[in-house]
Chains A and B, each alone.
Chain A
Amino acid sequence: MSVAQKYGALAAGAGKRWEERAQKPLLLVGTATCGRAAGALEILRCLREEVGRRGLEAEVIEVGCMGHCYAEPLVVVAKPGWPAICYGYVTEGIAARLVEDFLLNDDPCLEFVLAALEPNDLVPSFADFPRSRYEHKMVLARCGLIDPEDITHYIATGGYAALARVLEMAPEEVIALIKASGLRGRGGAGFPTGVKWEACRSAPGNPKYVICNADEGDPGAFMDRTLLESNPHAVLEGLIIAAYAVGASQGYVYVRAEYPLAVERVRTALEQAREQGLLGRDVLGSGFSFDVELFQGSGAFVCGEETALIASMEGNPGLPRHRPPFPVHAGLHEKPTVVNNVKTLAYVPLIVGQGWEWFTGVGTSRSPGTAVFALAGKIVNTGLAEVPMGTTLRQLVYEVGSGVPKGKKFKAVQIGGPSGGCLPAELLDMPVDFDSLTAAGAMMGSGGMVILDEDDCMVEMARFFLDFTQKESCGKCTFCRLGTRHMLDILTRITKGQGRPEDLDLLQALAEDVKAGSLCGLGKTAPNPVLSTLRYFREEYEAHIKERRCPALMCQDLIAYYIVLERCERSCNACVGSCPVEAIYTTPDMLKAIDQEKCVKCGSCVDACPPQYRAVIKVSPPEVVAKKAEG
Chain B
Amino acid sequence: MAWETEEQIVERTAEVLAEYDSDRTKLIPILQRIQESLGYIPGRAMLEVAGRLGIPAVDVYGVATFYNQFRLHPPGRHQIKVCMGTACHMKGGNIILDHWERRLDIRVGQTTPDREFGLERVACVGCCTLAPVTVVDDTVHGKMTPTKVDGLLFAFGLARREGEAP
Instruction: List, sorted by A's number, 19 A–B pairs whose CB atoms are closer than 8 Å.
Output: A33-B127, A34-B127, A36-B140, A37-B130, A37-B140, A37-B142, A222-B124, A226-B126, A296-B28, A298-B32, A299-B69, A316-B63, A377-B87, A383-B129, A417-B86, A450-B87, A450-B128, A578-B147, A581-B102
- Residue among A218, A296, A602 with the highest chain B CB neighbour number at 10 A: A602
Given contacts A220-B86, A298-B28, contact A604 B129 (CB under 8 A): no
* Chain B CB within 8 A of A57 CB: no
- Report the bound CA distance from A456 to B142 in whole Å: 20
Interface residues on B, range: 35 or more
Stretch at the interface among A21-29, A80-88, A256-264: A256-264
Identify which of residues 86-128 in chain B touch chain A, using a CB-to-CB cut-off of 8 Å. 86-92, 95, 98-99, 102, 122-128
Contact call B99/A580, Cβ cutoff below 8 A: yes
Interface residues of B in 32-86 (CB under 8 A from A): 32, 62-63, 66-70, 84-86
Question: How far, in Å, is A551 (CB) from chain B's closest CB?
Answer: 16
CB distance from B41 to the nearest CB of A (A): 11
Residues of B within 8 A of A299 (CB): 67-69, 122-123
- Verify A450–B99 contact, CB threshold 8 A: no
Indicate if the CB atoms of B68 and A38 lie closer than 8 Å.
Answer: no
Q: Which 5 A-B pairs have the closest CB atoms?
A: A219-B85, A298-B67, A376-B128, A220-B86, A299-B68
Mark the stretch among A144-152, A192-200, A307-315, A388-396 that contacts chain B: A307-315
Is there an interface contact between B146 and A604, defined as CB atoms closer than 8 Å? yes
Given the known interface contacts A37-B142, A257-B69, A600-B98, the answer about A219 and B84 at a Cβ–Cβ threshold of 8 Å is yes
Chain A's interface size range is 35 or more
Q: Which residue of B lies closest to A465 (CB)?
A: B86
Add 18 more A-B contacts to A34-B130, A222-B128, A258-B126 (CB < 8 A): A37-B130, A37-B133, A72-B129, A219-B85, A219-B86, A219-B89, A220-B128, A260-B138, A296-B28, A296-B29, A299-B123, A300-B68, A317-B63, A377-B128, A382-B129, A474-B66, A580-B146, A602-B95
Most interface-central of A34, A70, A258, A452 (chain B CB within 10 A): A258
Provide the bound-state CA to CA distance between A389 and B68, in Å: 35
A603 vs B99: C-alpha distance when bound (angstroms): 12
A217 nearest in chain B by CB position:
B123
Whether the Cβ atoms of B146 and A70 lie closer than 8 Å is: no
What CA separation (Å) do A130 and B140 show in the bound complex? Answer: 31
Q: Do most interface residues of chain B lie in helix, strand or loop, or is the interface mixed? A: helix
A512 at interface by CB-CB < 8 Å? no
For residue A456, which residue of chain B has the nearest CB?
B90
Residues of B participating in the A interface, judged by any CB pair closer than 8 Å:
24-29, 31-32, 62-63, 66-70, 84-92, 95, 98-99, 102, 122-131, 133, 138, 140-142, 145-147, 150
Q: Which of B125, B126, B138, B147 has the most CB of A within 10 A?
A: B126
Question: By the criterion CB–CB under 8 Å, are A464 and B32 in contact?
Answer: no
Chain B residues positioned under 8 Å from A260 (CB to CB): 138
A360 within 8 A of B: no
Is A315 touching B27 in the complex (CB atoms < 8 A)? yes
- A378–B92 alpha-carbon span in the complex (Å): 12
Determine which of B90, B92, B122, B147 lies in contact with A258 in the assembled complex, contact meaning CB atoms within 8 Å.
Answer: B122
Alpha-carbon separation in the docked complex, A456 to B150 (Å): 26
Which residue on A lies nearest to B27, using beta carbons?
Answer: A315
In the complex, the answer to whether A314 meets B66 with C-beta atoms within 8 Å is no
- CB contacts (< 8 Å) of A301 on chain B: these are 123
Contact yes or no, B28 A34, CB < 8 A: no
A226 to B62, CA, bound (A): 32
CB neighbours of B131 from chain A (8 A): 376-377
Beta-carbon nearest neighbor of B89 in chain A: A464
